[in-house]
Structure formats: structure tokens, C-alpha cells
């Protein structure tokens, strides 16, 4: 079948189509799209092909004849199905019909296909047939002109040895929260970064625990491992919910919302399931407590849930958490320290301080610098601004 494009099309594509004319008359060449091109069966098609120990696989096809000399672009599709039902296109493109496709990329695509069909990492290595075809088109300023595309026949590689070729899936290094409190912005000065619990990550990066004090209203929040609307953001339908206040959490148009707007202690446990990261989110009462010699008992309390050391909780998103007045001077003994209690972890694994009028979290870092206090002073914390003060 032929498609004929008149001179107007050629002139419109003049920046990328070159045609040689032998005279100065008004006739111009026409583009004739061939019915097909032939992809030759590779010499190694019947042999064992070990992608892990190969740099590339050579392919050759015939030139598509468009009726006159023109630049062409060639791309390669791969499939594990002879009918090419799950075909994916390699990222490489070629300017000639002699092509060497990258073995590493081919292995990665094939592994993804097998995983999508239910295979587990434990099922690898495996030997599978692989099917290939080539698409060619006129090169339009670096891109393939779709209307001139021609497709080859399918060839098979009978015995491709495939090892698991995908990078490991790890839990995220960071989580960030956005919501109405910051105008749904991922700006670093507005959205919250969750804090990792000290020592919670396992050695293989298969799980971790994060916490944050966050104000949740009926418009809700979302969280993500990137400060971006990149499709990775987690909403109500993406998480498993538990905790003392789980019954107050509802679906707010896809967001994680509350039917009782207030501050929550939000604890996220991330874990790996197959190739996915799963998030279990605990919603508990927002609670900050003092620790150390400024407390009423002037000691490092064994009862980490002692309510005598609780900060007051603001009713608004921009309000201040305020500590009880210090009962004693810190006397240089550890300074003024405070924390949220993450169930299952010691208090110091989720502690933080005020330093230079900023809230500074310990996170996964070393022991923090100490700031002293005197009897009668209080700690004032504004999480909406990330600021704090001892006065």
C-alpha cells in the first residue's frame, strides 16, 4: 500500500527532509511509504544468549525505500510474546539499518515484563524466547515522522538467559507532607519533612519508620518521597491506617483528611512488598514531653508517657506548643530536651531541641548540642514556621 504526500508536505518538512532534484522544473519528489521492511534473523538466534555477559546484540534490516534519499530513524521493539502483545520500545534509536542493541537495557526490560506477569526475583535466572521487530520512519529534525512509519517482521531469539536485572527497591530516604496548611505547596520552606526514627531502618533497607506532628483538617494532606507532584504522592486510598485516632481519619477527595481538625502525631512505617513500597500510617494524639533535670522530678524519667511533662497543644495550624514551666535549672546536666513518643522506640530516638530559635530534630544523627534552661522558663514551638524559643 502506498501513501503519497505532495510537495506542500515536503516543503513543510524542509528542515529535516533532503531530496536531490536533477533539474529546476516545478516537479518535486513524492514520499512513497513502503509496505514493510525485512528484519533478518540474527546469526545467534538459535544459540544460548547470556545477556549478563554480553554488551550488545546485532540486528540488520533492509532499507525502507521512500522514493528518494532521506534521513531515517530506526527503533527496536522487544516482547516476550510472539504476537508482540506486551511490546516495549528500547530507548536507543539508530540512523542506519545496522543496529547493536544494548544488552543491559534489554535485560532490564525483559525482567520488568516477567515481573509484570507475576514472576518473583526467586524465579530468576530463567531461559526465555525473546521477540524483536524494527520500526523505521523519516527522520524529522531528530524525531521519527509517524506518518512515514514502516514496521518489520518479527524475529525470535530462542534461548535468552536472563538474570534478575532490576535495581533493588528500597524504602525512601525522606518523606514530605503537603496540605492546606502550606497551600498544597512542596516548597521546602512550607511543606513538612518527616523525621526518621533513630535506628528503625533495617540493614537491607526493607523497612523504616518516620514521624511528624502535622495539622490535619477536612481538606487533608498527602505525603511523598519527593517534593513534587510526580505520581508518587500517597493519599487516603494508598495507605493502611491505624492508631488511637484512626477513626477520625477519612477520605477527603482522595486526601488523608480528618473529621476532627487538629494536630496529630503521624507515624509512617514503610516496608517493601515485592517491588512496591507499602505504607502503614498510625495517627495518635499529638504529644510532646520534656525530659531531664528541668522536669518536676529533676530526673531522666523512666515513665516516658508521664503527663506532668506534656506541652499544651494549639487549636490552630499556626499556633504554638508550650511546655510546662521548668521546675529546676538544667544545671549543665544534658540541657533542655523534649520528644514525641513513637511506640516501640526509646524517647531519645524521636527527640528534638531548640537551637538558634529553630526546631532541630535528632533524626538519625548523633547526640545533639545541648541548650541550657533555668527554672521558670518554658519552651515555645511553632511547627508551621519551624521555629522555637526558650524563655
Cβ atoms of 377 and 338 within 8 Å: the answer is no
Q: How confident is the model at residue 224 (pLDDT cuts 50, 70, 90)?
A: very high
pLDDT at position 301 is 72
Strand partners, 255: 252
For the cut 50, the answer to whether the pLDDT of residue 111 exceeds it is yes
Does the predicted model carry a pTM greater than 0.85? no
| CA angle (100, 106, 110) in 5-degree steps | 155
pLDDT at position 333 is 67
Mean pLDDT, all residues of the chain: 89
- Please give the Cα distance from 199 to 49 (Å, whole number): 44
For the cut 70, the answer to whether the pLDDT of residue 6 exceeds it is no
Closest CA to 106 of 153, 152, 154, 160: 160
- Please give the Cα distance from 38 to 192 (Å, whole number): 57
For the cut 90, the answer to whether the pLDDT of residue 11 exceeds it is no
pLDDT at position 27 is 56
Strand partners, 267: 211, 282
User: Which grid coordinates are listed for 179?
Assistant: 496540605
10 Å Cβ neighbour count for 8? 9
Torsional sign, CA 179, 185, 187, 190? negative
For the cut 70, the answer to whether the pLDDT of residue 140 exceeds it is yes
Query: SS3 sequence, the chain?
Result: CCCEECHHHHHHCCCCCCCCCCCCCCCCCCEECCCCECECCCCCCCCEEEHHHCCEEEEEECCCCCCCCCCEEEEEEEECCCCCCCCEEEEEEECCCEEEEEHHHHHHHHHHHHHHCCCCHHHCCEEEEEEEEEEEEEEECCEECHHHCEEECCEEEEEEEECCCCCCCCCCCCCEEEEHHHCCCCCCCCCEECEECCCCCCCCCCEEEEEEEEEECCCCEEEECCCCCCCCCECHHHCEEECCCHHHEEEECCEEEECCCEEEEEEEEEEEECCEEEEEEEEEECCCEEEECCCCCCECCCCCCCHHHECECCCCCCCCEECCCCCCCCCCCCCCEEECCCCCCCHHHHEEEEECCEEEECCCCCCCCCCCCCCCCCEEEECCCCEEEEC
- Please give the Cα distance from 96 to 119 (Å, whole number): 36
Main-chain phi, psi angles of 182, to 5 degrees: -125, 25
- Please give the Cα distance from 57 to 254 (Å, whole number): 46
pLDDT at position 2 is 38
Q: How confident is the model at residue 8 (pLDDT cuts 50, 70, 90)?
A: very low
pLDDT at position 5 is 42
Q: How confident is the model at residue 144 (pLDDT cuts 50, 70, 90)?
A: confident
Cβ atoms of 190 and 221 within 8 Å: the answer is no
Amino acid at each position: 500500500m502506498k501513501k503519497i504526500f505532495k510537495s506542500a508536505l515536503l516543503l513543510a518538512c524542509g528542515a529535516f527532509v533532503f531530496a536531490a532534484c536533477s533539474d529546476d522544473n516545478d516537479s518535486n519528489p513524492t514520499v512513497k511509504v513502503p509496505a514493510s521492511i525485512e528484519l533478518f534473523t540474527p546469526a545467534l538466534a538459535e544459540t544460548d544468549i547470556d545477556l549478563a555477559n554480553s554488551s550488545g546484540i546485532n540486528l540488520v534490516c533492509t532499507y525502507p525505500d521512500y522514493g528518494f534519499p532521506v534521513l531515517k530513524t530506526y527503533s527496536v521493539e522487544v516482547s516476550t510474546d510472539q504476537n508482540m502483545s506486551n511490546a516495549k520500545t528500547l530507548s536507543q534509536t539508530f540512523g542506519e539499518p545496522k543496529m547493536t542493541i544494548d544488552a543491559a537495557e534489554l535485560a532490564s526490560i525483559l525482567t520488568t515484563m516477567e515481573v509484570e506477569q507475576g514472576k518473583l526475583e526467586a524465579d530468576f535466572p530463567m531461559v526465555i524466547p525473546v521477540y524483536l521487530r524494527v520500526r523505521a520512519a523519516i527522520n524529522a529534525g531528530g524525531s521519527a515522522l509517524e506518518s512515514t512509519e514502516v514496521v518489520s517482521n518479527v524475529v525470535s531469539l530462542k534461548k535468552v538467559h536472563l538474570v534478575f536485572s532490576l535495581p533493588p527497591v528500597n524504602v525512601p530516604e525522606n518523606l514530605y507532607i503537603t496540605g492546606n496548611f502550606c497551600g498544597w505547596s512542596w516548597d521546602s520552606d512550607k511543606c513538612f519533612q518527616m523525621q526518621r526514627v533513630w535506628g528503625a531502618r533495617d540493614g537491607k533497607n526493607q523497612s523504616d519508620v518516620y514521624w511528624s506532628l502535622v495539622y490535619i483538617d477536612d481538606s487533608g494532606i498527602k505525603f511523598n518521597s519527593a517534593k513534587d507532584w510526580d505520581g508518587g504522592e500517597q493519599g487516603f486510598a494508598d495507605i493502611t491506617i491505624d492508631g488511637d485516632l484512626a477513626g477520625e481519619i477519612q477520605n477527603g477527595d482522595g486526601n488523608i483528611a480528618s473529621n476532627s481538625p487538629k494536630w496529630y502525631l503521624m507515624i509512617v512505617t514503610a516496608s517493601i512488598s515485592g517491588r512496591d513500597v507499602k505504607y502503614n500510617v498510625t495517627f495518635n494524639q499529638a504529644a510532646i514531653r520534656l525530659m531531664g533535670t528541668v522536669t518536676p522530678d529533676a530526673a531522666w524519667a523512666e515513665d516516658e508517657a508521664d503527663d506532668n511533662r506534656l506541652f499544651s497543644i494549639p487549636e490552630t495550624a499556626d499556633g504554638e506548643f508550650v511546655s510546662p514551666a521548668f521546675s529546676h535549672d538544667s544545671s549543665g546536666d544534658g540541657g533542655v530536651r523534649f520528644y514525641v513518643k513513637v511506640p516501640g522506640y526509646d524517647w531519645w530516638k524521636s527527640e528534638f531541641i531548640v537551637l538558634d530559635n529553630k526546631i532541630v530534630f535528632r533524626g538519625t544523627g548523633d547526640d545533639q548540642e545541648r541548650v541550657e534552661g533555668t527554672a521558670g522558663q518554658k519552651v515555645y514551638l511553632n511547627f508551621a514556621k519551624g521555629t522555637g524559643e526558650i524563655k
